Amino acid sequence: MTSLIPHPAAVRRHPGTLRVTGPVPVAAGPEAEGVADWLAQVPGFTRAVVPDAPVRLALDDRLAPEAYRLTVDERGVEITGGAPAGVFYGAQTLRQLMPDGASGQTVSLPYLEVADAPRFGWRGAMLDVARHFMPKEFVLRFIDLLALHKLNVLHLHLTDDQGWRLEIPRYPRLTEIGAWRAATLIGHARQAPRRYDGVRHGGYYTQQDIREIVTYAATRFVTVVPEIEGPGHSQAAIAAYPQLGNTRRQLDVWTDWGISEHVLDISETTLGFYRDVLDEVMALFPGNYLHLGGDECPTGQWRANPAVTARLAELGLPDERALLGWHVGQLARHVTARGRRPVFWYDTDTALRVPNAIAMPWRGDGAARAAHQDGHDVVLASHEHLYLDYYQSQDRDTEPLAIGGYTPLERVYEFDADQPAGALGAQCQLWTEYMPRPQDVERMTFPRLCAFSETVWSTPPRHSYASFHGRLKSHLARLAAAGVTYRPLDAVPAPRTAPQPPLKEVATDAHSPG
């Protein structure tokens, strides 16, 4: 029990133990049948043929939807949740109480009562599949790993300068051309001269792939939030359809990292194109949210274009910088009119006047407060604590290549998610410029995602970092049994004493987000 991550809100031990032999039969009331079906697929469990089974799942409408109670006593295991999601999280806790692959084994479970509920409603992770395409099978595996840690949002960064990853039948060149780049940078983007591998890289998700991903996630109570980036970070789209670009020039899908100077045109034609795309995206993703990007958009091409100057006067905007917020705002209104909530990366220039929009401030805690003061609901995404593409050690010679920064395990765990008050939640980010393979993503994700999960699930006051660290060893053994690649715990540095590298180290690389 000491290895539960995230730690429940309240655990009460009682004298005695329950002995069960796997596979353990699971019975459920009608509303919890789906959770029982899922749990029966987990090694060590099976579906019961009678209602009086060792594990029983049910609903209790006195609980909040994601809250649950788990009881182990002489009668067996009973899990009740305020809704199926709560039952599911209780079942995840039971999984952690049981040894992996307990079929044929007799297991002793301590008598106990667990009362638990999440701190935040939005508990997410962003996976960048645009810089390096990740196969569908890994996305499904990643969803399982999120669910194990009681996270409930997978944000897919589907488009960027280096690749477009979503099939849009109305505009087939987005994947015929935009999903493939001629080469990938070797080494770090700061190294000179730049070298490339000469290997064509790409891939995309068909609409059937997306339906499978969305359905798979839904059975695990994970909402998939798609992101279609713009008006910056759009070179792959412009390579497919040059008329979308500010210069109308034929471009290649970008082979560098950073911020491409090529941005979207601001005409009604380009907006119409993106409205068409977003309509197809909304048809594929039934969740309530659609991310519109909106970060790191250079204005040089707009400033040099007389047509943009005329457009600014027509719109009554003060300068080119205001076009970023205007562009994202136009698409946000389109999404809102169709009953969805738009999400955007919050920069100074993207303060939208769209009441329904959710801001993701990423430039530290000060940005979160500014977004909140602008009247936005906020999902925290601070690069200072929640960028899992940053180095995990100050000794970079011993670490896999990363974009920069320093986010050790302790820093993730100590993230102060209380700022600003009223935040919807938080999410960690995995930008994949330097993660070409799924195992690279896993090693950068774990064990830091474990710390993040406790930050956004467990209600303050949380257990100490020392308590978390003590539970983590057993939890990592659980991940190892599932074949997860992770950074060994003995490689995790002691509490940080060196100063955090400045933001400009990342900003000059122009990553993050986007």
CATH number of the domain encompassing residue 95:
3.30.379.10
The whole domain housing 43 covers 10-116
Distances (CA, A) of 267 to 60, 302, 314: 53, 12, 12
Residue 256 covered by a domain: yes
pTM: 0.94
Q: 66, 296, 410, 454: which is the annotated catalytic residue? A: 296
Tell whether the model's pLDDT for residue 208 goes beyond 50. Answer: yes
Of 86, 116, 146, which residue constitutes the final position of a domain?
116
Regarding whether 153 and 49 lie in a shared domain, the answer is: no
Regarding whether 169 and 105 lie in a shared domain, the answer is: no
CA distance 362 to 422: 17
296 in catalytic set: yes
Residue 229 covered by a domain: yes
* Residue 370, domain CATH: 3.20.20.80
Residue 2 covered by a domain: no
Closest by Cα among 330, 325, 372, 333 to 350: 325
**Would residue 187 be called left, alpha or beta, if left means φ above 0 and alpha means ψ between -120 and 50 degrees?**
left
Residue 5 covered by a domain: no
Residue 492, pLDDT score: 52
What digits encode the pLDDT tens for the residues 442-498?
999 999 999 999 999 998 877 789 999 999 999 999 999 999 999 998 765 444 444
Question: What mean pLDDT is predicted for residues 231-252?
Answer: 97
Regarding whether 154 and 140 lie in a shared domain, the answer is: yes
Regarding whether 162 and 102 lie in a shared domain, the answer is: no
Least confident of 215-224, 299-308, 347-356, 504-513: 504-513
Residue 514 covered by a domain: no
Question: What mean pLDDT is predicted for residues 277-283?
Answer: 98
Pairing between strand 24-28 and 10-21? unpaired
**Cβ 311 vs Cβ 322: under 8 Å:** no
Which tokens hold the place of 52? 């009086």
Residue 408 covered by a domain: yes
Residue 158 covered by a domain: yes
Cα 413 from chain centre: 17
Closest by Cα among 93, 97, 80 to 150: 93
Tell whether the model's pLDDT for residue 228 goes beyond 50. Answer: yes
Regarding whether 111 and 126 lie in a shared domain, the answer is: no
Regarding whether 223 and 87 lie in a shared domain, the answer is: no
Distances (CA, A) of 473 to 22, 96, 489, 496, 502: 24, 13, 7, 20, 32
Regarding whether 155 and 79 lie in a shared domain, the answer is: no
Tell whether the model's pLDDT for residue 401 goes beyond 90. Answer: yes
Q: How many domains does the chain fold into?
A: 2
Which tokens hold the place of 2? 């000491």
Residue 50 covered by a domain: yes
**pLDDT band with cut points at 50, 70 and 90 for residue 397:** confident
Question: What mean pLDDT is predicted for residues 380-395?
Answer: 94
Regarding whether 440 and 382 lie in a shared domain, the answer is: yes
Regarding whether 292 and 208 lie in a shared domain, the answer is: yes
Q: Average pLDDT over the chain, rounded to whole?
A: 91
Of 99, 116, 133, which residue constitutes the final position of a domain?
116
Residue 49, pLDDT score: 84
Regarding whether 166 and 96 lie in a shared domain, the answer is: no
Residue 462, pLDDT score: 77
What digits encode the pLDDT tens for the residues 333-369?
999 999 999 999 998 676 677 778 999 999 876 888 8
Of 93, 116, 139, which residue constitutes the final position of a domain?
116
Regarding whether 364 and 256 lie in a shared domain, the answer is: yes
Residue 369, pLDDT score: 87
Regarding whether 59 and 142 lie in a shared domain, the answer is: no
Residue 2, pLDDT score: 65
Least confident of 46-50, 167-171, 179-183: 46-50
Percent of the residues in the chain that have a pLDDT greater than 90, as a whole number = 82
Percent of the residues in the chain that have a pLDDT greater than 70, as a whole number = 92
